[in-house]
Chains A and B, each alone.
Chain A
Amino acid sequence: MAENNKTVVDIDRSVYDIKDVENEQDFYRMEDGFTEDIVKKISEEKHDPEWMRQFRLDSLKIYNELEMPDWGPETDGLDMNLISSYVRSKSDMKGKWEDVPEDIKNTFERLGIPEAERESLAGVGAQYDSELVYHNVKDEVANQGVIYTDMESALTGEYADMVHEYFMKLVPPTDHKYAALHGAVWSGGSFVYVPKGVKVDIPLQSYFRLNAAGAGQFEHTLIIVDEGADLHFIEGCSAPKYNVANLHAGCVELFVKKNARLRYSTIENWSKNMYNLNTKRALVEEGARMEWVSGSFGSHTSYLYPMTILKGDHSTMEYTGITFAGKGQNLDTGAKVVHQGKYTSSVISTKSISKSGGIGTYRSSVIINKEAKHAKTSVSCDSLMLDSISRADTIPGMDIRTDDADVGHEAKIGRISDEAVFYLMSRGLSEEDARAMIVSGFANPVSKELPLEYAVEMNNLIKLEMSGG
C-alpha cells in the first residue's frame, strides 16, 4: 500500500463540497445583516402568527442588548453584517422525493440521504439553506400517531397550540446572544411528537444542508416524546466550503416525558468556514432517559454543549461525544447537565482528537441542586494529541449543592502510548498501522453507539487509512 495511506490524514471532504452556484438565481436571498426590517420581512415571508412576529422582534431586541461570551473561541472572523439570515429555494417543500428540484435532489443524493431513508429510516426531513425542501414519514409510523413535520406547518396547523406552548421555553432568547438571534430569524427545522406509549423502532432523520455562501442557517427542532414513548432521532449537517464565513445558530428543544426515552444522534460535518453556534437542550421527566451521541468533525469554530435538565425523579442521561479538530479548526464542545430530581444519574463520556494545529476544547458543567438527593454523576474525558502544533484543553466545572450525591470525574490528556505501539508492532504491525489502529480504537466507544451506516460515515470522516486495512 502507498506510503501516504499509512497515516492519520485529514478528512476527505470532497463529497460535501458540491456547490450549486450556477442555480443561485432560483433562490430568494434576504439582504445581509440583522435589522428590525429584515426580521419583519422574514416574518411576512413565513406567514407567522402575530405572537411569533412579536416574539421575533423581542428576541432581536435581546440580541442587540446581549454581549458575546468572553470565554470561548474567538469569533472575530464572523461579520454579522455580511450574513444573510434567510435563503430559500423558489420551490416549495415536497412530500415526494421525485418532486424535489433536480439540482437540490442531486446534492442530497450524492450525500446518500434518499438511500438512507429507503434502507434504515422511519422518516426524513431535508433542509436546504433556510427551508425544508422535503419531508416524509413512513405510513406505518404515521399510523402510530407519530407527527413528523416541518416547523412552519406545525406553527400554523393542527399543532399550533402545542408549538406555542413549547417553542423556546427550554432555550429562552435571554439564554445567550445566539439564542436571541435564533429567536429573531429562525427558519426551518422539524417538529416531532411521539404519542404516549408509542415506540418508534427505526430512527427519524433530519439533514441540514447550507449551500449558500455567506448565509446563516437557523433551523429549530422541537421534539416531544410523550409518556412511555421511545424515539431515536438523527441529525446530520454539511455544507460546501467557501472563502466567506457562514453561520449556523440552530436550536434543538427536546421534551422527554415520564418514562419515555429519546436518543438524539448528530454527525456534524459543517465546512471549515462555518461558525457553528448551536444550542441543544433536553428536559427529562420522571423515570425518563435522554441519550446524546455526538460527533463533531466540521466547522471553523464551534460552541456546542448539549444540556440536559434531569427534572424528574429517577431520570437519567448519557452523553457520548467525539470531536476531531484538524487544521484551522477551533472546536469547543462538551455537555451540561443539571440534576434537579431525586435519584437522577448522568454519564458523560467524551473523546477529543487534535491534529495539524487544530484546537479541541472539552467544556462541561455538572450541577447537582440541593433537592437532587441520591444523584450520581460520572464524567470521563479523554483527549489525544497527534502533534505539538495543536491544542487539547479540558475545562470541566462542577457545582454540587448536596452531600447526598456521588460525583466521579476523570480526565486524561496524552499522546498515543509508546507501549501500545510497541505491543502492536511486536504482533507484526508497522508503526504507522499501529498508530492508526490506536486512533481508530480511541474513537470506537462513540462509533459503536451509532447505527451502522452512521458509524461508517463517522469512520469515513475520521478517515483512518491503515496499511493493510
Chain B
Amino acid sequence: MDLKMKVNHLPALTYRFLKSNSSEIDVNDLYIENTKTPEPDMIPAAVTVKSDAAKSDVQDVFAKINEKIKAKQTKLPGPNGDTAPFNDGQIVRTGMGIEVDNLMDEMNVPVMIITADEGYKVEEPVHIKYSLKDGECVLGSQVICAKKGSEITIIMEYESEADAKGFLGISTRLLAEEGAKINLVKVQMLSEGFVHFDDIGGACDDKADIETITMQLGAGKTWGGTRVTLLGRKSIFNNHTGYLCRHTQEYDMNYVADQYGQKTESNMVFRGVLLDNAVKTFRGTLDFKTGSAGSVGDEQEDTLLLSPDVVNRTMPVILCGEEDVDGRHGASIGQLGDDTLFYMESRGIDEDAAKKLMIRARMESIARMIPDEALIIRIQQFIRTIL
C-alpha cells in the first residue's frame, strides 16, 4: 500500500511559508504484515492485558472521561486559525491526529488494553519490545488505563537489525483515572532504513498524572506526537524528550497540553542534538482553556546544532483563554559555546571529543530518568555505536 497522511497539526495555524502547520507522511509500497502488539515479557500483579480489543472496547475505556470533556467545552472563541475541528471524532485527542486512528481502523489493527487495577501501585514496569527484521512493516496500538488511585509504568522499546529497512507505526492511548499515575517510556533505536511514527494521546482525571519519557535515536524519518488532555483538577503532565538526529534523519514532532481543569500543571522539556544534514521540526503547545484557573505550564527547548547543514524549526505556542494562569516557554538553540570548548580544551579534550561528550551528556540527562538500568546501558551503547 501507499501511505499518505497529514499529521501533527499545529493547534493554531500560522504563516504557510514556515511549512510547520502540519506534516505529511508519504511512504510508498508498504506491505504491512504484522499488526499485533508483542506480549509483555512479564505481566505484574494487579495488571490485566487484553490483546485483541476492538474499537468499541477502547470507546468504553474513555466513555466516562469523554462525557466530562464534552461538558467542559465552551463557546468562547478559539485561537486564530484554530485546528481543533481537524481532529474531531478521536476517541482521545492525540498529537498526530485523527488520520493515525483512521489508518489503524482501516488496517484492523488489534488494540492491546493494559489496565492497572484500582488502588494498586504496580512496582514492576511492563515491558513491550518491538524487535524488527529487515523488510518488516508493523503497526501497533495500545491503550493503557490506570484505574482510580493506581500507578503503572510501561516501557516500550523499538529496535531493529543493523542496516535493516522497514516501517513501524505505533498508537498509544492513555487514561489516568482520579488519583492515578501513568509513567510511559518510549525508546526508539531503529536503524536508519526505518520510517517510524509514534502517536500518543492521553487524558487525566482529577489529581491524575501522566509522565512521558521519549528518546528518539534512530530511524531515517520519524513523526511523533503527544497530546494530553488535563481535564481533572490538579492533574499533571510531565514530558522529557531527548533526540539525536544525524546524517539525513528527519524528526517531526507535535506536543500539546490541553489544560481544562483548575490548578493543572504541564511541564515539557526537550533536549536534542542535530548533526550533519538532519532536519527537526518541533511544535509544542500549552493550551490554557477557559476555566483552567490556577494552572501553570512550562515548555523548555534546548537544541544543540553541530553542523552548518542542519535545519531546525521550532514552533513554541501558548494559547490562553483564562486569566489566572502562568504559561512560559523558553528556547535556546545554537552551537557549543566558546567557553565550554575552551574549558574542555584546557582539560586536554579536543573539539571533536568535547562535542561527543556533550551529545552523550544531553542524551543521558534524559536517559537517566528511565527506571530500567539495563535499558539505560543499551541506550548508552547505541549512542556510542552511532557516534
Are B13 and A391 in contact, CB atoms less than 8 angstroms apart?
no
Residues of A within 8 A of B323 (CB): 385-388, 390, 415
Residues of A within 8 A of B17 (CB): 365
Residue of B nearest to A336 (CB): B15
Interface residues on A, range: 35 or more
Are A402 and B305 in contact, CB atoms less than 8 angstroms apart?
yes
Residues of A within 8 A of B306 (CB): 403
Tell me, rounded to whole Å, the shortest Cβ–Cβ distance linking B194 to chain A: 26
Residues of B within 8 A of A414 (CB): 325-327
* Interface-lining segment among A65-73, A85-93, A212-220, A450-458: A65-73
Are A399 and B18 in contact, CB atoms less than 8 angstroms apart?
yes
Tell me, rounded to whole Å, the shortest Cβ–Cβ distance linking B269 to chain A: 15
Residue of A nearest to B330 (CB): A410
The CA of A409 and the CA of B20, in the complex, are separated in Å by 18
Are A405 and B311 in contact, CB atoms less than 8 angstroms apart?
no
- Judged by DSSP, the binding face of A is strand
Are B334 and A393 in contact, CB atoms less than 8 angstroms apart?
no
The CA of A120 and the CA of B293, in the complex, are separated in Å by 47
The CA of A99 and the CA of B81, in the complex, are separated in Å by 48
Are A415 and B325 in contact, CB atoms less than 8 angstroms apart?
yes
Task: Give which listed residue, B311, B318, B321, B322, contacts A411 with CB less than 8 A.
Answer: B318
Tell me, rounded to whole Å, the shortest Cβ–Cβ distance linking B341 to chain A: 13
Residues of A within 8 A of B51 (CB): none
The CA of A399 and the CA of B20, in the complex, are separated in Å by 10
Does B319 belong to the interface (CB within 8 Å)?
yes
Are B13 and A363 in contact, CB atoms less than 8 angstroms apart?
no
Tell me, rounded to whole Å, the shortest Cβ–Cβ distance linking A126 to chain B: 33
The CA of A433 and the CA of B306, in the complex, are separated in Å by 51
Task: Give which listed residue, A394, A400, A411, contacts B333 with CB less than 8 A.
Answer: A400
Residues of A within 8 A of B314 (CB): 397-398, 400, 409
The CA of A370 and the CA of B311, in the complex, are separated in Å by 9
Are A397 and B331 in contact, CB atoms less than 8 angstroms apart?
no
Does A24 belong to the interface (CB within 8 Å)?
no
Does B310 belong to the interface (CB within 8 Å)?
yes
Residue of A nearest to B317 (CB): A395
Does A413 belong to the interface (CB within 8 Å)?
yes
Residue of B nearest to A387 (CB): B323
Given contacts A398-B312, A413-B327, contact A406 B318 (CB under 8 A): no
Which of chain B's residues 215-272 have a Cβ closer than 8 Å to chain A?
none
Does B320 belong to the interface (CB within 8 Å)?
yes
Residue of A nearest to B286 (CB): A413
Tell me, rounded to whole Å, the shortest Cβ–Cβ distance linking B320 to chain A: 5
The CA of A217 and the CA of B317, in the complex, are separated in Å by 33
Given contacts A71-B16, A408-B331, contact A401 B80 (CB under 8 A): no
The CA of A70 and the CA of B86, in the complex, are separated in Å by 13
Are A407 and B315 in contact, CB atoms less than 8 angstroms apart?
no
Residue of B nearest to A379 (CB): B331
Task: Give which listed residue, A330, A365, A388, contacts B321 with CB less than 8 A.
Answer: A388
Tell me, rounded to whole Å, the shortest Cβ–Cβ distance linking A384 to chain B: 9
Tell me, rounded to whole Å, the shortest Cβ–Cβ distance linking A163 to chain B: 28
Interface residues on B, range: 35 or more
Question: Which of A332, A361, A383, A399: most chain B CB closer than 10 A?
Answer: A399
The tally of CB-CB contacts under 8 A between chains A and B is: 161
Are A361 and B293 in contact, CB atoms less than 8 angstroms apart?
no
Tell me, rounded to whole Å, the shortest Cβ–Cβ distance linking B255 to chain A: 15
Are B318 and A405 in contact, CB atoms less than 8 angstroms apart?
no
Does A404 belong to the interface (CB within 8 Å)?
yes
Residues of A within 8 A of B290 (CB): 388-389
Residues of A within 8 A of B42 (CB): none
Given contacts A332-B80, A391-B79, contact A410 B329 (CB under 8 A): yes
Are A400 and B14 in contact, CB atoms less than 8 angstroms apart?
no
Are B315 and A397 in contact, CB atoms less than 8 angstroms apart?
yes
Does B102 belong to the interface (CB within 8 Å)?
no
Which of chain A's residues 354-401 have a Cβ closer than 8 Å to chain B?
359, 361, 363, 365, 370, 383, 385-401
Residues of B within 8 A of A70 (CB): 13, 16, 81
The CA of A401 and the CA of B310, in the complex, are separated in Å by 6
Does B288 belong to the interface (CB within 8 Å)?
yes
The CA of A426 and the CA of B310, in the complex, are separated in Å by 53
Task: Give which listed residue, A359, A391, A403, contacts B308 with CB less than 8 A.
Answer: A403
Residue of B nearest to A377 (CB): B333
Are B307 and A403 in contact, CB atoms less than 8 angstroms apart?
yes
Does B85 belong to the interface (CB within 8 Å)?
no
Residue of B nearest to A385 (CB): B323
The CA of A361 and the CA of B79, in the complex, are separated in Å by 8
Residue of A nearest to B324 (CB): A415
Q: A70-B13, A385-B320 are in contact. List 13 more A-B contacts (CB 8 A).
A: A69-B16, A74-B80, A385-B323, A392-B320, A393-B80, A395-B12, A395-B14, A395-B317, A397-B314, A398-B312, A409-B329, A409-B331, A411-B328
30 CB < 8 A contacts A-B: A71-B15, A363-B15, A365-B14, A365-B18, A370-B308, A385-B320, A386-B323, A387-B323, A389-B76, A391-B77, A393-B317, A393-B320, A394-B318, A395-B12, A395-B81, A398-B314, A398-B333, A400-B312, A400-B313, A402-B310, A404-B335, A407-B333, A409-B332, A410-B329, A412-B326, A412-B328, A413-B320, A413-B325, A413-B328, A414-B326
